[in-house]
Amino acid sequence: MSILEKVDKLHHAIAWHGDIPITSRYTAGIAGERFFREIKDHGRFLGTRCEACALTYVPPTMFCERCFAQLDGWVEVASTGTVFTYTVLHLDLDEKPLAEPDILAYVRLDGSDGGLIHRLGEVSPDQVEIGLWVEAVFKPEAEREGSILDIRYFKPCSSRGRCD
Amino acid sequence: MTAGIKEFPGTSLKESDFEEGNVLFTTWTPKAEYAWDAGVAIGRYLAELKEGRIIGVRCRHCRRTVVPPRNFCEWCFRPMDDWIALSDTGTINTFSLCYVTWDMKRVEEPEISAVIDIDGTKPPVGIMHLLGEVEPDDVKIGMKVKAVWKPPEEREGAITDIKYFKPISNI
């Protein structure tokens, strides 16, 4: 037997198979809990405001990332925003082709300094552009369960001045 | 270090908080499958078990034969020299009566695990396995035992292809 010995018979190439049962449970945290409760119960977005830094955080944070002050000023944030950046997906997580491409975007919410990563809907990939004005489409209240998926997707607003 | 701390920061949650919907949460179950490459030495060891044989390896320099096979002699750090066919008999080196399962459940009839020095190894080297067809009170260190194999069609190239070792006097 030497260090150059190779496995030259297929039935000698043996791997030991197994799996590790793991289930994780994630909570949203104090600020996240309030953010998702508001989506679930009222279909609106909340943010936290740091007056000293003039920043509005969405999703809300407990602390200002700039000055580290604790934030307890909660403000309602519009459910409209602009596409900051986006990508068009043609493959699913298993790299199988999707029947319809999925559009993912980072939407900066109006009047805030934050935003959400979510799907775009009711729009074709060639119509999407950076700066597109979009609004959140929520699921009906009965179907909402306090998750980011309570938002179906963001869809383009009909005009710059009016969003319904 | 934490002895003096009475109140830890954070929000403590009980199982009931999740069940009653007091807190929002998501669950995730990753698909944590793995395949561990057995390598040249253990790979062949497992393949030979499937054929109903126990094999070891020899280091000519240290004049020793060991099981399970390994690529290097851990005494002299040279590559091992030869594959050696060993017999499926051996001697009980040590044993233990086990009254709990792996997940700590009480069992009435103990499982008897033992280190069995396999005949043909030099100096004697043992593998861990179960003893069967023997009463717990009758097990003795130094007892000669022989492997009881699964039928060939049920073997899958695993150490469990040997069901257990039983005393040779019973044969």
Would you list the domain boundaries of chain B? Answer: 39-170
DSSP-derived pairing of the beta strands B64-66 and B54-59: antiparallel
For A4, which residue in chain B has the nearest alpha carbon?
Answer: B79
Q: Do B25 and A28 touch (CB under 8 A)?
A: yes
Examine the predicted complex and report whether its ipTM is higher than 0.85.
no
Six token digits for residue A61: 């944070």
For A3, which residue in chain B has the nearest alpha carbon?
Answer: B79
Residue A30, classed as helix, strand or coil, is: helix
Tell me which of A4, A14, A23, A41 to substitute to probe the interface with B (most B C-beta atoms closer than 10 Å): A14
* Residue from A45, A24, A128 nearest A85 by CA: A128
Q: B143 and B91 in contact (C-beta within 8 Å)?
A: yes
pTM value > 0.80:
no
User: Which CATH class name applies to A29-156?
Assistant: mainly beta
* A51-89: pLDDT as tens digits: 999 999 999 999 999 999 999 899 999 999 999 999 999
Residue A77, classed as helix, strand or coil, is: strand
* B40-99: pLDDT as tens digits: 899 889 989 999 999 999 999 999 999 999 999 999 999 999 999 999 999 999 999 999
Q: Do A26 and B33 touch (CB under 8 A)?
A: no
Six token digits for residue A129: 């552009």
**Which run of H or E residues covers position A36?**
helix A29-42
**Which run of H or E residues covers position A34?**
helix A29-42
